[in-house]
Structure 1
Amino acid sequence: MKKALSLAIALIVAAPAQAYDFLNEWPTKVKTGSGVEYGVKGLYQLDINRFSDDTLPNGSARFQDHDRWRRKEFYLYAKLNGKWEVAAGYDFANHVWVDAYARLFTPNAGDFRLGQFKHAVGFEEGAIGSGATTFIERSLPIQALNPGRRIGLDWTYEKIPGWLLNAGVLSGGDLNGDNDGTGWVGRAVFNPVKSENRVVHLGISGSIEERDDEIARVRARPEANLTPVRLVDTGSLAGADQIKRVGLEAAWAQGPVSLQAEYLTYDASRRTARDFTADGAYVYASWVVTGESRPYKSGAFNNVKPKRDWGAVELGLRYSTLDLNDGLVEGGKQHDWTLGVNYYLGQHIKLQANYIRAFSDRRGLALDPTITELRAQVSF
């Protein structure tokens, strides 16, 4: 950590004084005469979670209030535009490796990436960065059904107008020693309309995973990830020799208004019991009150870039649902409503507030907490 911070300070000191702009560019990179760029990236998020309406039949509260760092991600990278890129990041809040890869760009065959990166099934997780989400936490089905990062090799192709294609093979779990197994994943995105102020996004993704431990488990936090409590949880499902995931995604954006939705399915083939199937979906609307658009590039949305020095304001409303009941497995059902407001100050500072009404029913126990969340984010 000390070495990384020393490098970051050195980059800032080395950059020309006139390059610094609090609202826009921060001097966290340097470029050599040969065109190679060296730099640092960071994502720091400080969260507050407050719970109410969570009383159990015995009178005790199910959740505890929390406030702590959600993420402290720090990356080192080097790249030569259009040729190659290497990057490695570590999350000091959760003590895990995040993205770490080498990427090769080719003029005709597409881009190839080797290392650890996010699984492509799940638009809200696999394509949209953790610092660019409209809501503080990702939706119920994304939390439950997206498998997170894996080590592997993937290929991305954007040479066909209106299309983005991605395919990969994932093997060896992750850099944190979890999720050992082998899998194949693919994603295709079609943009029948794509301009600066209007986007139509249609996508499909799927994966097949063979876990070494042959154990499947599906669960989700109530869109408040500082708590360890899950309202829905299948528990460990033994004998799961193969897991299949399918995702359907769609989005529409015109000017300051956008809609986004996904439907995800999960199927665990089990040798020792009946196969297990789960599914979930979400839909949300976003309105940038100050008139800006959500930037869209390479099949994903990014943070709003304010046109005014005092910033930009965005409102969002989301509905998400998850069903983990199938046969003898009673993982539970849950649906959440989330109202959010985001304030963007320049390109690097983002303040978020969410109000969540969660409704769950698992094995006859209904629990419907109210959650208030706040986040202060700095990214560079």
Structure 2
Amino acid sequence: MTIVEGTCTARFEPLRAALTAHLASCEELGASIAVDVDGTLEADLWGGHADAARTVPWHRDTVVGLWSTTKTLTSLAALVLVERGVLDLHRPVAHYWPEFAARGKQDIEVRHVLAHTSGLSGWEQPFTVDDLYDWPTASARLADQAPWWEPGTASGYHMQTQGQLVGELVRRASGRTLTEFVATEIAAPLGADVQIGAREADWPRISALVPSAPSPAVPTDLDPDAVFTRTMLGSPARDEHVDTPRWRRAELGAVNGHGNARGLVRALSVISRHGEANGLRLLSPGTVDAIFDVQADGVDLFLGVPVRWGVGYALAGPPTIPGLPDGTICFWAGWGGSLVVMDLDRRITFAYTMNRLGAGILGSERTHDYLAKVYEAFGTPASRAARQTGLST
């Protein structure tokens, strides 16, 4: 019998049942789910196994690589600096990073980087994973690169470059690395079990990610000048790099965060609760409101699906992901299905992490099932747009 550990209130028993069912079917290997409702952790669930051989249980403090859900922490770090007046969303990036002005980028603003509209969605080739691991090299290459489209006119998901761009801004503005800033200004004060990279002392409790199928090769017949092609080829991190010592020691603010659902909820509930969580105010309501200033609304040049980008996060609204209603909601997902949702109308924060990767861009079918159960607990159906489009990527 599959056992899901942890606790939940009565209204989230269907969520526990959904996790139990996915574990029993072996679609899920190991996972954690958490739901915070206005400061109360109403669901804190975990179960399954932390290894592909199913010999090590997923424990309460098991953590896992987050892939792009890492960006939710990196964006929060930038917003904390905005709150403190150290970063200005409407100032040019070059104000903080003078070298960035090269090749016509002098007018790109901080908000463009946070909203994936800067035109720097990948590195120009050749660019290797060794270059990615070397912070000065990766930053210098972006500073010397021309944008691939007119900044501010459209989004093109900065799959792996956003961590470098925002991370360099954090370094320049705060004098600390992104890893240090997240650890000292977000994780520690909020009691959140999250980090960029992974401290070696935590390696024994990391559950390795398990691809559901071999990573598909990049097709050879793509338009070499298309944003999708250039972004894919200019984003060198792949499944085989994850869970290696070099990966864990690196600072990749777009992709190599580690944590679990409880940790993500403790960190990101500061947004859902209008700037204050766990007795600490990190953001003013005005800074939180800035997240919802729409920066792009249309088909993303890399993702190929419609996305409404605010500042640092995607925004709910037609079209959206299955299970997510309309409202004052921001979110982002990671490769394989991890997800964090911040719902300011209902003061809900939902997070899901797992070790078996599922298919899809904005969450997997498992992700959408869990999310739907959360909103069903409030009697809130998925948005009409989500039901009509059935967006599952």
Relative contact order (C-alpha < 8 Å, sep 6+): which is higher? 2
More strand per residue: 1
- Which structure carries more helix by proportion? 2
TM-score, normalised to structure 1, is 0.28
TM-score, normalised relative to structure 2: 0.28
Is the radius of gyration larger for structure 1 or structure 2? 1
